[in-house]
Chain A
Amino acid sequence: MSTLLNNLDVFTTGFRTTIILFLVSGFFALLIGTVVGAMRVSPIPALRAFGTLYVNIVRNTPLTLVLFFFAFGYPKLGLPEIDFTVSAIVGLSLYTASYVAEVLRSGVNTVPVGQAEAARAIGLPFSQTLTLVVLPQAFRSVLPPLFSVLIALLKNTTVAAGFSVYEAGAIRAYLAERGEPALVVLLWVAFFFVVLVLILAQLQRYFEKKWKVAR
């Protein structure tokens, strides 16, 4: 307990950065993921092919390598300079986006074709078919896997610690200088992650209950 209380400053700074990383990359991952997911179900073959290529390559690349590229490789390309936190956000967003895209695509695919056909048959235009019939159903089946992706993103933010970002994964390195026992420090970090994951899981349960549909 004293390890935590004596170094509260390091812990709060670390976890604050973790939560910022999570929220910002989560937002951009949802944004990019929606675009790529839309590409994957679009009627235009070129867009479909690009979406598939993106998802297949990024899903088969380790996140560590993605962050490695943005932390060490990007600065060599002579583009506007970004600091390590921003490069971690870019890497995490691009990586998580491919998973978001897959979740959204399979969500749209779970809606039976008959639903849309029936909607068209009673004369709903494309916009209403989408907003009143297809998306509400897809959204409900997308929710649980989407939360799994977000929980994974939260845990993945720790990888940024290997690339000079001062977040929860880096707390051990900072406290090693103060001579704190690594085991105790890491157990506290693990404990807080369990708490954060439990909060997200609780949120997931709440939303699932809220939008439950009787079939």
Chain B
Amino acid sequence: MTSVLYDAPGPKARSRHRLFGVISVVVILAIVGFVIWRFIETGQFSASKWQIFTFARVQQTLLDATGATLSAFGVAAVGSLILGLVLAVGRLSDHPWVSRPFHWFTELFRAIPVLILMMLLYYGLPPALGVKWPPYLAVVVALILYNGSVLAEVFRAGIEALPKGQREAGLAIGLRKSQVMQSILLPQAVRSMLPVIISQLVVTLKDTALGFIVTYNEILFQAKFFGSQVQYGTPIVPSAIVAGVLYVGMCLILSGLAKLAERQLRRSQKVAGPKKGAPLQATQAAQGAAETI
């Protein structure tokens, strides 16, 4: 295997690599082993700490909490995709009085932390308006506003990475601007940006966990509740493990989809470009600018 950093190793380098490999495996196993040893030593794997998770009621509650997480994610994902499309199209308008407000909106909501947005919507707005709404609404709306703005940048970057000729050809055959956007630019941009879009959706899924802080009844909130039950030995570490498995599992499935989309994209290079592979490079360049955590 050659890389930018090193040549294909010869016999001497190979044996050296083997030695380093053994040393690093030992060091890594030692670190992981230490953590597991601490877990065992403090009884985190003892049956009494896990007993609470054997009750059907507890399992049902966890399942409901997972449902709550997924429902917030689902609504936020659809909402942010729609908002992202609207913001991107608005920002690409030829009229400055249209594109400028859209630009400001996008930049503003990209700069405010999601948690502050959630707090604004949960603690700030309702008393000021004299109404009351559930934390679910605050979580979903905050996620839509933030991720919609990020996705708008992703869509815009995807559209701008397309060759200029695409738009010009569309206009030349007599399509209107909205038709060019709808049937030529957007489909290609969405296609080429699909991996980035899905990884942004992973971010959305992860950010639903922020609902924990504004008392939304999702997985982490329930984990905290079960983890502080004194009569079951305050199983906070087992709770964190359960919540971790649920979150990592769901996110890995979504990330797997992103990887699948990327591979599909690389295989069927149907996106227009001056030469093969060029849009993908442009995409990667655009990715860097739009990527967030």
Asked if B220 lies at the interface with its beta carbon under 8 angstroms from chain A, I say yes
Contact at A64–B4, with CB atoms within 8 Å? Answer: no
The secondary structure that dominates the B interface is: helix
Interface residues of B in 1-59 (CB under 8 A from A): 1-7, 9, 13, 17, 20-21, 24-25, 28, 38-39, 41-42, 44
Out of A43, A73, A120, name the residue touching B1 (CB < 8 Å): A43
Contact at A130–B113, with CB atoms within 8 Å? Answer: no
Contact at B24–A44, with CB atoms within 8 Å? Answer: yes
CA distance A144 to B42 in the complex (A): 44
Chain B contacts for A30, CB-based, 8 A: none
Chain B contacts for A194, CB-based, 8 A: 108, 111-112
Asked if A132 lies at the interface with its beta carbon under 8 angstroms from chain B, I say no
Contact at A76–B206, with CB atoms within 8 Å? Answer: no
A152: nearest residue on chain B (CB-CB)?
B293
Out of B9, B20, B112, B252, name the residue touching A60 (CB < 8 Å): B252
Out of B7, B113, B248, B252, name the residue touching A156 (CB < 8 Å): B113
Known A148-B289, A194-B108; contact A172-B119, beta-carbon cutoff 8 A: yes
Chain A contacts for B227, CB-based, 8 A: 72
10 pairs, CB–CB < 8 Å, chain A vs chain B: A61-B206, A62-B220, A64-B220, A113-B2, A113-B3, A172-B119, A172-B123, A182-B119, A186-B123, A190-B112
User: 13 additional contacts, CB 8 Å, given A99-B293, A113-B2, A159-B210?
Assistant: A43-B9, A44-B17, A60-B248, A60-B255, A77-B39, A78-B42, A96-B293, A113-B4, A158-B115, A172-B119, A183-B127, A190-B112, A190-B120
Task: Give residues in A with beta carbon < 8 Å to B.
Answer: 41, 43-47, 50, 56-57, 59-65, 68-69, 72-73, 76-79, 96, 99, 103, 106, 108-113, 115-116, 120, 126, 130, 134, 141, 144-145, 148-149, 151-153, 155-156, 158-159, 161-162, 168-169, 172, 176, 181-183, 185-187, 189-190, 193-194, 197-198
